[in-house]
Amino acid sequence: MELFSTLDTMGHEQVVFFHHPESGLKAIVAIHNTVLGPALGGLRMWPYRNEQEALTDVLRLSRGMTYKAAVSGLNLGGGKAVIIGDPAQKSEALFRAFGRFVQSLGGRYVTAEDVNTDVQAMEYIFQETDYVTGVHPVHGGSGDPSPFTALGVIQGIKACLQRRYGHTDLKKVSYSVQGLGHVGYHIVKHLRDADAKVFVTDMHQERIDQCVALGAEAVKMDEIYGVNAKVYVPCALGATINEKSIAQLRCEIVAGSANNQLATDACGDELHGKGILYAPDYAINAGGLMNVSIELQGYNRERANRMVNGIYDIMGNIFALAEREKIPTYKAADHVAEGRIAALGKVKLPTINQPYERHFAGRRNGKH
């Protein structure tokens, strides 16, 4: 990879490689954009096959965080970190070494939980730096973000119902939920509390059983796309909206928590062409990020709930823009995010003060 030309194309500000042989730490932090504020994004530990794969992942994920924070109205930029290694080798020393490196960035990057890292890892990192979120509530942390992500998805689903059917009554339509982990389970709980018809699937039988106990109906993993439900709720892996699945979909709305749901942009165009309303993934699943963002200002659950409920309006604005501009919703979300960064970038640029300073410089020097 030609690193600088890739950074140029993707728009990154900074990429930092950290190496600490004593603890086995090999980490990459990617800071995509700090126009709106410090770059916040999770720390992922993964046994990448090579360094190139790790770098590609962290560049892609950090860019996504910029869009998520921007569309959500947060004063945060986008960043992400990866540790190259087997999650079985996790240790206190490894995370504390990572914490010391994060501290050295002086707050330009703030870390959080992601795949294969948890509250315990954040606690170790917290020993070495303040630039960490998702620490334990006893240390002023916000704990598990998943219930907030789920609440945000429910608000996003309501915005979809409003746009498609002119009401927000969860009970009036049916749902197919794919993936019943931390987020999916809470979504099923909300939907069943509203007495809605819910089909579910997962790789793990005990997770299916938990949801069936709430009144959901189980289907096989490969049947979930073709289920006769109005709303498909992807909460497992990315790229589940692809050529193969689109051919099977019978839903009218796609609205779930999974990251990178569209295998390609063309899949977003195809959903649009078929009249299926797509809730852009990084906008509808921002509840967890909103929740940790409040931790930086002193955690307050009520404020977190209020902010996450705002996802209803954020989605509504994206849909309105998509309709006005006659573009697919995934493009409308990008426009909202890019528009906010561009507008606030102009406000925040130091040059905005310079003309005023120049204007008064003569007077201060006694020259007119």
Q: How many residues bind ligand NAD (CB under 6 A)?
A: 24
The answer to the question of residue 342 lying near ligand NAD (CB under 6 A) is: no
Residues in Cβ contact with 133 at an 8 Å cutoff, skipping those fewer than 6 apart: 40, 110, 111, 112, 122, 141, 142, 292, 293, 295, 296
| Residue 83 near residue 43, CB atoms below 8 Å | yes
- Binder of ligand NAD out of 19, 167, 172, 204 (CB under 6 A): 204
Give the nearer residue to ligand NAD in terms of CB position, either 82 or 180.
180
User: What's the closest the beta carbon of residue 341 comes to ligand NAD, in angstroms?
Assistant: 21
Q: Decide whether 13 or 57 has the Cβ nearer to ligand NAD.
A: 57
Q: Which residues contact 5 (CB under 8 A, 6 or more apart)?
A: none
Q: Does 192 bind ligand NAD (CB under 6 A)?
A: no
CB of 150 to ligand NAD, least distance (A): 8
The yes or no reply on residue 248 touching ligand NAD (CB under 6 A) is no
The answer to whether residue 13 forms part of the interface with ligand NAD (CB under 6 A) is no
Residues 270-329 that bind ligand NAD (CB under 6 A): 285, 288
- The residue with its CB nearest to ligand NAD is 181
User: Which span sits near ligand NAD by CB under 6 A: 81-89, 119-127, 254-262, 351-359?
Assistant: 254-262
> Is position 221 an interface residue for ligand NAD (rule: CB under 6 A)?
yes
Among 60, 136, 182, 348, binds ligand NAD (CB under 6 A): 182
Q: Is 80 a catalytic residue?
A: yes
Q: Does 38 bind ligand NAD (CB under 6 A)?
A: no
Unique residue bearing structure tokens 């979809």 = 160
CA 153, chain centre distance (Å): 12
Give the HSE-up count for residue 205: Cα atoms under 13 Å, Cβ half-sphere: 0
Q: Given candidates 184, 268, 280, 328, which one binds ligand NAD under the rule CB under 6 A?
A: 184
Q: Does 85 bind ligand NAD (CB under 6 A)?
A: no
DSSP output for 22-87: TTTEEEEEEEEE-SSSSEEEEEEEE--SSHHHHHHHHHHHHHHHHHHHHHTT-S-EEEEEEEES-G
72 binds ligand NAD (CB under 6 A): no
Per-residue binding string, ligand NAD, 119-158, x by CB under 6 A, is --------------------------xx--x---------
Q: What gap in Å lies between CA 67 and CA 77, rounded to an integer? A: 8
Rg (CA), the chain: 22
**Which residue among 26, 80, 197, 331 is the active-site one?**
80
The footprint of ligand NAD on residues 16-35 (CB under 6 A) is none
CA–CA separation, 240 vs 263, rounded Å?
Answer: 7
Q: Which listed residue (28, 35, 58, 235) binds ligand NAD by CB under 6 A?
A: 235
Residue with Cβ nearer ligand NAD (25 or 224)? 224
Angle, helices 311-325 vs 329-348, to 10°: value is 110
Q: Is 121 exposed, middle or buried (0-12, 13-18, 19+ CB in 10 A)?
A: buried
- Burial class for 133, CB neighbours closer than 10 Å (0-12, 13-18, 19+): buried
Question: Length of the chain, please?
Answer: 368
The contact set with ligand NAD (CB under 6 A) reads 145-146, 149, 178-184, 201-204, 207, 221, 235-237, 257-259, 285, 288
Active site residues: 80
